[in-house]
Chain A
Amino acid sequence: MSEYKRPTSEIEFDHNFAQKKPLMNDTEAHFESSKCLFCYDAPCIQACPTGIDIPLFIKQINSGNLTGSARTIFESNWLGNACGKVCPTSELCEGACVFNHQDLPPIQIGRLQNFASSDAIKKDKKLFSVGPANGRKVAVIGSGGAGIACACELRTMGYEVDIFEAKSKPSGLTLHGIAAYKITNQEVEDEINYLEKQLGLNFICDHAIENKEQLAKLEQEYDAIFLGVGIGATAHIGLPGEDKANVIGAVEFIEELRMKHHQLKVPKRVIVIGGGNTAMDAASQSARLGAESVVLAYRRSKEDMGGYSFEYKFAISAGVDSLFNAQPVKIVGDETATGVQFIKTQSVSGKLENIVGSEYTVDADLVIKATGQAKQKHFLNLIDDLELDNRSRIVVNEKSFQCTNPKYFAGGDAVNGGAEIVNAAYEGKMAALGIENWLNAE
């Protein structure tokens, strides 16, 4: 049973979606930073996909060089503020903190990172500048984490960069696809504006690149093209009744929530199908929007869930119930969905089998599918010689992030199939360096 009242104002929304990692105050940051051991060859650095020099930025916080601390962070990761808030730090840097080995709480690296980076953003500290113009132009398609990181890096090297964005606001999933209790819209926008001010990022929003003619034009006008297109809408899973209006995708649900906040209403009973982190987010957020009952239904066992256990616990703490070994059979209902019929499953020597005759129905007013996103296969196939792997991910060189069509580079979810923003930030930055090396070699 969910414990949250339906938010009817922005204040109530902020209460229900209180930030999981709130900003530290000065005293908290001082004490927390004083605990860091400054490990040699620190495991936290190794665990960070962008390799931020974490002990250094923590020491800089403690010694009162907050600006230097922010520089250390942004030098490795252009989305250092967003990552401090939304990274699954217990699986990355904080999970690697040596304190874990003596059963001590790890240093709160994410929150310390945020403390330093948000200070620079708030005070508009100029840390970076556009490099001397080198006469080269790059088109970046998609303004998510990968695209922004690529563009920022290119700008410091003197490239002219145009960023094409289909939506009306830049930032991709950081703004549209992350649970609202992980980062606020304002925080996402502030970081982009901060980078934009220093590096003059040219966002061309409401401008989808979707046909061959547009691509041909880009190929002609730009020296290189970066694909930061992410992955697409929630995929069709072939469930009978799936097309009913109150059966929606989790990605779409989260985006609507991020844009509408308390104005988005959820009905009384919600079923979320899936076992990944997106499912956890969708379930937890449904509960926080005031749904009376939220059921997370996963076709395999609890242990098999792809979502992090801390995400699952967080959803449960919001009042989400869970069903395991529940394979959806069909959506029940005439005009609109009134429930989901499941069949019980069991694992027989590693293979999932339905238990014959074990069907049952759970009532619902809204069904959210968190069962994976369709890839951008159709769009990507418009590009000549662009190889995709068997899961429709763009094939790239693992160092330069150059595609099989050499004019194209790619990073983020379109390449890794759906990972964290920190991975996108790393890949976008590496692709920028790949572009530089490739053009220099030409």
Chain B
Amino acid sequence: MPNLSINFAGIKAPNPFWLASAPPTNSGYQVMKAFDAGWGGAVWKTLGVPVINVSSRYGAMNYGGSRMAGFNNIELITDRPLADNLKEIEEVKKYFPDHAVIASLMVETKEEWYQIIKDVENAGADGIELNFGCPHGMCERGMGSAVGQEPAVLQTIVEWVMEVANIPVITKLTPNISHIVDPGLAAARGGTNAISLINTIKSIIGIDLDTYAPYPVVDGKGTNGGYCGPAVKPIALEMVKELTQHPEIKNIPVSGIGGIETWRDAVEFILLGAESVQVCTAVMHYGFGIVREMKAGLEQFMIDKGYETIYDFKGKALPNVTEWKHLNLKHKVVASIDNDKCIGCELCYIACDDGAHQAIRIPETNGNRIPEIIDENCVGCNLCSLVCPVEECITMEQRDDGTQHLSWNDRSLADSIPTTFNDDRAGGKGHFVPTVDDALKHRKG
């Protein structure tokens, strides 16, 4: 059986599945229930200055028949008394000494940071997470993402924390910034032991079409919230990669956060260099029991691939994430439809014809609605295979022999890049485009 345990910057946990600092970690009751269900760690809901929360706090983006493909919240940090939280942290550690309990913190002044770090250390927390990410409410008071968006301020606070902290410190970053490396570097230079990302994305989840107020509506008004859930995973993966590939940051352990719901999501984060993953929305949707699927899937993946520990495949995808200019321009794939599986919905046809490269036709003679790929027009964009509702019906087949490699970078170095559109080396030259008559053939009247 694979060993799922991790040692994350000195924080030990029986597995890499941690609860993110959020409503599921609001109390000792919840965290103990979660550990009992199989979670390896929990980042406590942020402790800090006193706050008042509003009623109506969450909003969702549903997609078709699926609930909460995206999720946002306008809830602030914990509104429970600090003393209660500290007592419960202590209690949890008594029952679960081998699980990771990390205190998420957010205060303003140096003195407040010093004091609260001492408090959570005394309570027995295994680590500290600095909440520099919250993009709603707290940032209006100069905390949360207001810090995460100012690398110099972020670095100063990290330095304050590192002066006094005796337990590992994780700096949690906000994605609400154009270049994630800047706060990442600031955290590194401030001496952080680890980094976690992403916090939620500033968002308006939707508008009530009767009251004209944004969701979640608080007495006729709303505000931007923090966006998370399955829909944000691609953004989080990219930002994790930005840090784990950066020469000055790559040796700092990263805890990946953002849209993780299944073992696959977790493996993807680990392959991009994360060492632990943090989950919130999936638990808010399905409860702590969802970890059963994650753990079982991760274990099976490791068995299938022959890995003994997380560290055997951590970052394994990183060498394959490169810049566009290094991609092989000689690689060629073309779509192929399995006629036996095709159900004739023709979504691939209309997606290609209206939304891509006019490389699929409906043969007028066959009568069975099965589309045909026009090989010479197919640019291998994948769109047809993405819209096809049938498993493994449209596949992309390699057409080059794999022996040639030529990238934009190679061409630049060889001074062989097209300079005009008429250049024979230009990409779109001779690309098939149907006529005006073709475009208007269904026009009525």
> Nearest B residue to A96 by beta-carbon distance?
B344
Q: How far apart are B215's CB and chain A's nearest CB, in angstroms? A: 15
Are B347 and A37 interface neighbours, CB within 8 A?
yes
Contact residue among B343, B350, B362 (Cβ-Cβ distance under 8 Å from A101): B343
**Given the complex, which residues of A lie within 8 Å of B428, measured CB to CB?**
none
Are B350 and A40 interface neighbours, CB within 8 A?
yes
Give Cα A62–Cα B66 distance, bound, in whole angstroms.
12
Contact residue among B65, B344, B346, B390 (Cβ-Cβ distance under 8 Å from A35): B65
Contact residue among A30, A34, A38, A98 (Cβ-Cβ distance under 8 Å from B344): A98
Contact residue among A30, A31, A39 (Cβ-Cβ distance under 8 Å from B345): A39
Interface residues of B in 114-141 (CB under 8 A from A): none
Contact residue among A31, A40, A98 (Cβ-Cβ distance under 8 Å from B343): A98
Q: Does A99 contact B (CB under 8 A)?
A: yes
Give Cα A62–Cα B349 distance, bound, in whole angstroms.
24
Give the size range of A's interface with the partner.
10 to 19
**Given the complex, which residues of A lie within 8 Å of B369, measured CB to CB?**
43
Q: Does A440 contact B (CB under 8 A)?
A: no
Q: Does A102 contact B (CB under 8 A)?
A: yes
**Given the complex, which residues of B lie within 8 Å of A99, measured CB to CB?**
343
Q: Does B2 contact A (CB under 8 A)?
A: no
Contact with A along B37-75 (1 / 0, CB 8 A): 000000000000000000000000000111000000000
Are B65 and A98 interface neighbours, CB within 8 A?
no
Main secondary structure of the interface of B (DSSP, over half): loop
Q: Does B418 contact A (CB under 8 A)?
A: no
Are B347 and A40 interface neighbours, CB within 8 A?
yes
Are A40 and B65 interface neighbours, CB within 8 A?
no
Are A39 and B65 interface neighbours, CB within 8 A?
no
Residues of chain B at the chain A interface (Cβ within 8 Å): 64-66, 341-347, 349-350, 362, 369, 389-390
Interface residues of A in 32-49 (CB under 8 A from B): 34-35, 37-41, 43
**Given the complex, which residues of A lie within 8 Å of B347, measured CB to CB?**
37-40
Q: How far apart are A375's CB and chain B's nearest CB, in angstroms? A: 35
> Nearest A residue to B362 by beta-carbon distance?
A41
**Given the complex, which residues of B lie within 8 Å of A43, measured CB to CB?**
344, 369
Are B343 and A102 interface neighbours, CB within 8 A?
yes
**Given the complex, which residues of B lie within 8 Å of A30, measured CB to CB?**
65
Are A34 and B346 interface neighbours, CB within 8 A?
no
Q: How far apart are B62's CB and chain A's nearest CB, in angstroms? A: 9
**Given the complex, which residues of A lie within 8 Å of B346, measured CB to CB?**
39-41
> Nearest B residue to A101 by beta-carbon distance?
B343
Q: How far apart are A292's CB and chain B's nearest CB, in angstroms? A: 46
Contact residue among B64, B342, B345 (Cβ-Cβ distance under 8 Å from A40): B345
Main secondary structure of the interface of A (DSSP, over half): helix
List the 8 shortest-distance A-B pairs measured between CB atoms, nearest first: A34-B65, A40-B350, A101-B343, A40-B346, A34-B64, A98-B343, A39-B345, A98-B345
Contact with B along A12-32 (1 / 0, CB 8 A): 000000000000000000110
Contact residue among B65, B341, B362, B389 (Cβ-Cβ distance under 8 Å from A37): B389
Are B389 and A40 interface neighbours, CB within 8 A?
no
Give Cα A31–Cα B343 distance, bound, in whole angstroms.
21
Which of A35, A39, A100 counts the most chain B CB atoms within 10 A?
A39
> Nearest A residue to B346 by beta-carbon distance?
A40
> Nearest A residue to B348 by beta-carbon distance?
A40
Give Cα A35–Cα B345 distance, bound, in whole angstroms.
13
Interface residues of A in 198-244 (CB under 8 A from B): none
Q: How far apart are B346's CB and chain A's nearest CB, in angstroms? A: 4
Interchain Cβ contacts under 8 Å between A and B, 28 examples:
A30-B65, A31-B65, A35-B64, A35-B65, A37-B389, A38-B347, A39-B344, A39-B346, A39-B347, A40-B345, A40-B346, A40-B349, A40-B350, A41-B346, A41-B362, A43-B344, A43-B369, A62-B64, A98-B343, A98-B344, A98-B345, A99-B343, A100-B343, A101-B342, A101-B343, A101-B344, A102-B341, A102-B390
Q: How far apart are B438's CB and chain A's nearest CB, in angstroms? A: 16
**Given the complex, which residues of B lie within 8 Å of A34, measured CB to CB?**
64-66
Beyond the given pairs A39-B346, A43-B369, A102-B390, 11 more chain A to chain B contacts, judged by CB atoms under 8 angstroms and listed by A's residue number, are A34-B65, A37-B389, A39-B344, A39-B345, A39-B347, A40-B347, A41-B362, A62-B64, A98-B343, A100-B343, A102-B343
Q: How far apart are A102's CB and chain B's nearest CB, in angstroms? A: 5
> Nearest A residue to B65 by beta-carbon distance?
A34
Give Cα A395–Cα B64 distance, bound, in whole angstroms.
48
**Given the complex, which residues of A lie within 8 Å of B350, measured CB to CB?**
40
Which of A37, A40, A62, A101 counts the most chain B CB atoms within 10 A?
A40
**Given the complex, which residues of B lie within 8 Å of A35, measured CB to CB?**
64-65
Give Cα A99–Cα B389 distance, bound, in whole angstroms.
10
